[in-house]
Amino acid sequence: MRRREFVSVVGGAVAWPIAVLAQEPNRVRRIGYLSPATGFNPVDEAFEKSLQQRGWVKDQNIKIEYR
């Protein structure tokens, strides 16, 4: 085995676990929702439905804080 081949194999084997650790796990995003209305209303429901259509799932990958 040539020196360059050895260095590339060993370097790749060492760098790969570090790259895996550097990846960020799926984190929960947070949205602050300001509304003058009290309680749950149809606008809130439409907002959540539109988020679901775009792939955001409440309490899995997104958290909505109503104020």
Ordered by start, the domain boundaries in the chain are 3-66
Show the tokens assigned to 40: 């749950």
Q: Write out pLDDT tens, residues 7-65.
A: 666 565 555 555 555 566 678 899 998 888 777 788 888 988 999 999 998 888 999 88
Task: State residue 63's pLDDT score.
Answer: 92
Show the tokens assigned to 7: 């260095």
Task: State residue 24's pLDDT score.
Answer: 64
Task: State residue 50's pLDDT score.
Answer: 93
Global confidence as pTM: 0.54
Task: State residue 34's pLDDT score.
Answer: 86
